[in-house]
Copies of this chain bind each other. A is one copy, B any other.
C-alpha cells in the first residue's frame, strides 16, 4: 500500500472536521485560519518505541499517548487545541496495528474537536512525532517564568500513578487486582488537562505540565522564574491505588520523581486563591496546594509537617 493510500484509508476519512481548516490532508500543505485576537501556540513531541513507551504497548495507547502529551503541552500554556500534524515512522504496514492506532487518534481528536491536518508516513523503527497547535487570547499564554515569592504551588489530580503503572507492568511493583486497570490507564491513556489550562489563563502566574516528574518540572519553573520553593510532601495528592500498593516513603518517591503523569503544576498569588477555588469548583476539577514559592533562588526545600524531609540524602534540591 502506498503512502497516500495509507493516509487516506486510516487518517483522512476518520479525522474530525473543523471549520477553520480550509485545506486539510491531501495537498502539499494544510491551510488553516487562526481566529482574530488569538495567538498560535505550537508544540512538537516525539515518542520512540522502547524509549518513551514499552515495545509491547497497544497501538491504541501509542496513539493516545502521542496526542495526549502534545495536548498536555498546549494545556500548560492555557491554549485550546485545534490541529495536529502527524509523522508516523513504522517498520512495516500492519493494517490491524494501523487500524488500532488511528482509532486511538480518533478518540482523542473527536473528544477535543481537534483535526488532523497533515503528516507523513515513513519506513523505519516505530516512532510517532506530533506537532499540535492551538490558540490562546493574545498575551494570555501561561509561561514558566512568572512565579513570584509568596505564590502558592498547586498540582492537578494525583501524582506518581504512571510510574507505579510502569513498574506494575514490568513486574517491579505488586498491585492488587482492583487497582491494576486504573494504573494501567494512567500509564497508557493519560488525560491532558486541557480544561484546567484554559481556566488558569487569568489566574495562574506560571504553569508547566509534569512529564519528567514533579521535582524536575518544578525545577524548570524555579529556574525560569528565578525563585525557590518549599514543598509539603505530606500534602502530595496520592491515589487510592498508590496508597494501597506501596508504603508512605515509596509513595512520596513516586510522586516526587516519576514522570508521565501529565498533571499541571502551577502557581497562584494569594489574591487569586479565591478565584481559583471558584473556577475549579464550577468546572468540577480538583487541584491540591502542595507548597509555596519563596525568594531563595533555585532551591527546593522539602518539608513533612514542620520537619525538613530528607530525600536522596539531602534536604535541598538545587537548580541553576
| A interface residues (Cβ-Cβ under 8 A, vs B) | 22-23, 26-34, 36, 39-46, 48, 51-52, 73-74, 76-77, 79, 83, 85-87, 89, 117-120, 122-125, 127, 129, 131, 133, 136, 138, 141, 143-145, 207-209, 224
Contact = CB atoms under 8 A, between A and B. Distances in A.
A86 B44 contact: yes
B29 A43 contact: yes
A19 to B, nearest CB: 13
A43 to B, nearest CB: 4
A44 B120 contact: yes
A167 to B, nearest CB: 21
Interface of A is mostly: strand
Given A23-B141, A85-B42, A87-B46, A29 B77 contact: yes
Contact of A118 (B43, B120, B122, B138): B43
A5 to B, nearest CB: 11
29 contacts: A22-B39, A26-B224, A27-B77, A27-B145, A28-B73, A28-B74, A28-B144, A29-B41, A29-B73, A29-B74, A29-B79, A31-B141, A33-B39, A33-B40, A36-B36, A42-B85, A42-B118, A45-B87, A45-B120, A46-B87, A46-B120, A46-B129, A48-B122, A48-B124, A51-B122, A51-B123, A51-B124, A85-B131, A120-B129
A84 to B, nearest CB: 10
Nearest to A76: B28
Contacts of A45: 87, 120
Given A23-B141, A89-B127, A29 B42 contact: yes
B117 A42 contact: yes
A255 B203 CA distance: 60
Contacts of A144: 27-28
Contacts of A118: 42-44
A187 to B, nearest CB: 19
A70 to B, nearest CB: 9
A209 B28 CA distance: 8
A224 B87 CA distance: 23
Contacts of A207: 28
A89 B129 CA distance: 10
A204 to B, nearest CB: 13
Contacts of A86: 44
